Amino acid sequence: MIRSIQFLAVVLLVLVAGLMALTVNADQGMDVEYAQHMPLATQSMLLDITLAGNTLVAVGERGHIVLSTDGENWKQAEEVPTRSTLTSVFSQGDRLWAGGHDAVIVTSEDGGETWTRQFFAPDRQQAVMDIYFTDENNGVAIGSYGLSLQTHDGGQTWEDATVDPESDYHLNSLLRFSDGRRMIAGEAGYSYRSYDDGETWAAIEMPYQGSMWGALKTHRGCVLFYGLRGHVMESCDFGSSWTELDTGSISSISGAAEHNGLVLFAANGGTVLIRDDDGHFTVHHHSSGVDFAAVISLGDGNFLLVGEDGVHKFPETNNQGDGDD
C-alpha cells in the first residue's frame, strides 16, 4: 500500500512538472494574447527582416509580423500569439522563428501567415536578440542579460545554455561558419567565439569596449562587428586580431547586409554607410531620417531597411537622400 501511494505521488509530480513545462515551452492556448490587427501595422516600428522562400518577413513592436512577396506591398500576418515586441526573425528550410521581449519565441510553418508560441518567460525580464538554427531541429536563441537558450527538437522545448557564467551583459548577434565555428557580438566589449559549434565559448579581446550590436560574415571570410557610435571592427582571423575601420560617421549601427562585395550598414538618424570592395566608406542620408534597425539585400543591388515607420528602400527610387553627407 505504501509503495502504491509513493508510486502515485511520483506520477503526480511528473504530471505537474510536465504541465508546467507545457505552459512555458509550448502554446497550449493558455494565457496567450494575440497581436492585434492594425491598419498601420506595416508602418509601425520594425526591428528585423528575413527572406523565407519567396516571402519577405519583418517583425517588430506589439508582436507585429508583416509579409511581402515583392517588397512593395505588405500585409500583416494572420495569427501571432504574442503582443511582446519582436526583435529577431530567422528562417531555415520551410520554418520560421521569431523572438523578442519577455523571452518569447514563436514559430511558423506556413511562410509566416500563422504562428504558434514555443517559449514565453516574462518573469525572467530578458529579451531574445538573435535566433540561429543550423537545421530545422537544432537552434539557439541569445539575448539580454546573458540569455542563452538551445533546442534540439525544432523549438518544442528550450533549455538554458551558458556562454559566460560570469557575465550577464547582453548577447546581441550570432554568426556561424560552415565548419561549426561561431561568434557572438555583445555589449560593453564582451564578445565571444566558439570552435565547437557552441559547446564551449571563450571571450574575445576587443579593441573597443563599447557595445557591438551586430555581426556580419563577408564574402572574403572576414567578420565585421558593428555598433555604438559608428564603430565597425574587422577580423580576418576569427577574432584573434581586429582592425577598427574609419566609417566617417558617429551614428550607431544596428544592421548590415552584403551584395557583390558592397556592404550596407543601417544606422540611426537615416544614416546609411556603404563600404565598397576596396574597403572605402561613403556616408549617405536617407530622406526618411528614421532610426534603422536591420537591412536585407534583395540580390539585385537594392536593399530594404526596417526601423521606424516600417520598411524603407535604398537606393531610394526618387533619388532623394542619395548624396554624400
Cell numbers 500576418 correspond to: 77
Mean pLDDT for 58-87 is 98
Task: Give the contacts of 25 (CB within 8 A, at least 6 positions apart).
Answer: 118, 119, 156, 157, 158
Mean pLDDT for 11-23 is 34
Look at residue 93 in the predicted model and tell me its pLDDT. Answer: 84
CA distances from 115 to 38, 51, 63 (A): 17, 16, 11
The percent of residues in the chain predicted with pLDDT above 70, rounded, is 88
Look at residue 94 in the predicted model and tell me its pLDDT. Answer: 83
Amino acid at 136: E
Mean pLDDT for 25-50 is 85
Lowest mean pLDDT among 47-56, 74-83, 90-99, 314-323: 314-323
Distance, CA of 122 to CA of 119 (rounded, Å): 10
Flag whether pLDDT at 13 surpasses 50.
no
Average pLDDT, the chain: 90
Q: How many CB atoms lie within 10 A of CB 283?
A: 18
Q: What is the per-residue burial (b if ≥16 Cβ within 10 Å, else e) of 214-240?
A: bbbebeeeebbbbbbebbbbbbeeebe
**Half-sphere exposure (Cβ direction) of 278: Cα atoms closer than 13 Å:** 3
pLDDT per position as a tens digit, 77-127: 999 999 999 999 999 988 999 999 999 999 999 999 999 999 999 999 999
Predicted confidence band at 318 (pLDDT cuts at 50, 70, 90)? low
Predicted confidence band at 140 (pLDDT cuts at 50, 70, 90)? very high
Which of 141, 179, 145, 135 lies closest to 157, judged by CA? 141
**Half-sphere exposure (Cβ direction) of 168: Cα atoms closer than 13 Å:** 5
Which of 271, 262, 267, 270 lies closest to 302, judged by CA? 262
Look at residue 3 in the predicted model and tell me its pLDDT. Answer: 36
Flag whether pLDDT at 295 surpasses 60.
yes
CB 183 within 8 A of CB 171: no
**Half-sphere exposure (Cβ direction) of 185: Cα atoms closer than 13 Å:** 30
Distance, CA of 5 to CA of 164 (rounded, Å): 43
Look at residue 191 in the predicted model and tell me its pLDDT. Answer: 98
pLDDT per position as a tens digit, 264-287: 999 999 999 999 999 999 999 999
Flag whether pLDDT at 36 surpasses 50.
yes
CB 270 within 8 A of CB 305: no
Lowest mean pLDDT among 6-10, 131-135, 182-186, 288-292: 6-10
Which grid coordinates are listed for 276? 565598397
* H or E element at residue 284: strand 281-285
Q: Which domains, and CATH codes, for the chain? A: 2-314 (2.130.10.10)
- Alpha-carbon dihedral 3, 8, 14, 20, rounded to 10 degrees: -150
**Half-sphere exposure (Cβ direction) of 276: Cα atoms closer than 13 Å:** 5
The percent of residues in the chain predicted with pLDDT above 90, rounded, is 87
Mean pLDDT for 124-132 is 97
Measured at the CA of 260, the angle between CA 257 and CA 266, to 5 degrees, comes to 25
Predicted confidence band at 31 (pLDDT cuts at 50, 70, 90)? confident
Mean pLDDT for 166-179 is 97
Look at residue 42 in the predicted model and tell me its pLDDT. Answer: 95
- Kindly give the residue spans of alpha helices, DSSP state H, lying in the chain: 2-25
pTM, to two decimals: 0.89
Positive/negative CA dihedral, 239, 244, 245, 250: positive
Look at residue 30 in the predicted model and tell me its pLDDT. Answer: 56
Look at residue 8 in the predicted model and tell me its pLDDT. Answer: 33
Distance, CA of 52 to CA of 79 (rounded, Å): 17
Mean pLDDT for 218-242 is 97
According to DSSP, the residues that pair with 181 across neighbouring strands are: none
Q: What is the per-residue burial (b if ≥16 Cβ within 10 Å, else e) of 175-190?
A: bbeeeebbbbbbbebb
Look at residue 87 in the predicted model and tell me its pLDDT. Answer: 98
pLDDT per position as a tens digit, 228-239: 999 999 999 999
Look at residue 317 in the predicted model and tell me its pLDDT. Answer: 79
